[in-house]
Amino acid sequence: MYNKKLLELYSEVIGYVSQPIDATFKTIRSKSTSLSSFIMDIVKCYCGSDIALINSGTIRFDSVIEIGEIT
């Protein structure tokens, strides 16, 4: 029951990437990236703030998001 619901949720397209996004630990932990900027833009919008900070250890993906649909 839960597996079916999760598969449905995780297969829903929520966006599109027009360029690869490097989310590897080596990159995320050493400099600002487009992924971290995107996440902070979401946080700022949600909170209505002018600034947002994130600890790089919070992002745990360690992969490159390739061009195409994001699910």
Q: Residue-wise pLDDT tens for the chain (71 aa)? A: 788 888 888 888 988 999 999 889 888 888 888 888 888 999 999 999 999 988 888 888 889 999 999 88
State how far the Cα of 50 lies from the Cα of 5, in Å rounded to an integer: 36
Q: Which helix (H) or strand (E) holds 16?
A: strand 15-17
Residues with Cβ < 8 Å from 22, sequence gap 6 or more? 33, 34, 35, 64
Neighbours of 28 (CB within 10 A): 21
Is 0.85 topped by the overall pTM?
no
State how far the Cα of 29 lies from the Cα of 55, in Å rounded to an integer: 9
List the domain boundaries for the chain. 13-70
